[in-house]
């Protein structure tokens, strides 16, 4: 079954995890290729300025396919080396593709985001949760570890202490706690989640596309380098931005007290 449903509304692309009848499990064979194809297409389309990632039905994603784990099938089948390759070639490919998106990503978390599903949500730049959202990284309860790099992802979102608490206990937290912990930016009514996410995405999409993509790159790199390196990267990138027509448009719009219209030039 196809994993992703892809739709467009002007400069905003929505990716919907589309296995509603089974709470949108991830990691089936081919999921990595599908995510990689969708993300590569977005990266090479300068008309796309923001992505919304959400789930169909009542869940964002309940995580890995438990029945496939039980049956030792698909990604979770074969010898230990085969399972390792399944993670590298499929699950990791999916996560690398999402992490590699060059435009801002908003996760509209409409229900449970558990295990792999939680870590996928945490790879978004911004998370908005419905009141029905729940978050947990319950790998240890299954006798496994976060094979999706979650021990790298989650501490960068909520800090080491709270990430460790969630990993070591397997607890599942509600949307209000997730907001208190900084896991999500806001909590909204379930029936207004997509509307809120779209409004935010359209606001982001009004920004100049080159500056928007470069800002995301600098945010990501800034978490990995020292301050002097971040300053040097900023200086070089800023010099390029000063040469764009969008910069001239932004300055003119501010002086003329009007809304800027950025064209990616």
Q: 249 pLDDT exceeds 90?
A: no
Q: Which of 81-90, 103-112, 244-253 has the largest mean confidence?
A: 103-112
Tell me the backbone φ, ψ of residue 193, rounded to 5 degrees: -60, -55
Task: For residue 30, name the pLDDT band (cuts at 50, 70, 90).
Answer: very high
Q: Judge whether 4-205 and 209-255 match in fold.
A: no
Domain boundaries, the chain: 4-205, 209-255
pLDDT digits (tens, 9 = 90+) for 199-234: 999 999 999 999 999 999 999 888 889 999 999 999
Helix, strand and coil content of the chain, in percent to the nearest 5, comes to 50, 15, 30
33-37, 70-74, 119-123, 191-195 — which is least confidently predicted? 70-74
**H or E stretch covering 135:** strand 134-136
> To the nearest whole number, what is the mean pLDDT of the chain?
94
CATH 3.40.720 for domain 209-255: no
What is the CATH number assigned to the segment(s) 4-205?
3.90.226.10
């Amino acid at each position: 079954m196809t994993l992703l449903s892809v739709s467009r509304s002007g400069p905003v692309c929505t990716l919907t995890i589309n296995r509603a009848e089974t709470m949108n499990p991830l990691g089936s064979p081919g999921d990595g290729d599908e995510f990689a194809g969708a993300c590569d297409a977005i990266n090479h389309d300068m008309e796309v300025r923001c992505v919304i990632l959400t789930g169909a039905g009542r869940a964002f994603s309940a995580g890995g396919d438990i029945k496939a784990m039980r049956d030792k099938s698909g990604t979770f089948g074969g010898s230990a080396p085969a399972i390792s390759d399944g993670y590298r070639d499929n699950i990791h490919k999916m996560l690398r593709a999402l992490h590699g998106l060059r435009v801002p990503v908003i996760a509209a978390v409409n229900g449970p985001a558990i295990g792999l599903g939680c870590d996928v949500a945490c790879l978004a730049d911004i998370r908005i949760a419905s009141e029905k959202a729940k978050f947990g990284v319950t790998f240890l309860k299954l006798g496994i570890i976060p094979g999706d790099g979650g021990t790298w992802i989650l501490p960068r979102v909520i800090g080491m202490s709270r990430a460790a608490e969630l990993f070591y206990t397997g607890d599942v937290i509600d949307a209000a706690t997730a907001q208190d912990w900084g896991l999500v930016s806001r909590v909204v009514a379930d029936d207004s989640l997509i509307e809120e996410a779209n409004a935010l995405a359209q606001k982001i999409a009004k920004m100049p596309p080159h500056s928007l993509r470069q800002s995301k790159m600098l945010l990501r790199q800034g978490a990995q380098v020292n301050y002097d390196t971040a300053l040097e990267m900023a200086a070089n990138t800023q010099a390029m931005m000063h040469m764009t027509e969008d910069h001239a448009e932004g300055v003119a719009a501010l002086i003329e007290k009007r809304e800027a219209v950025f064209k990616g030039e």
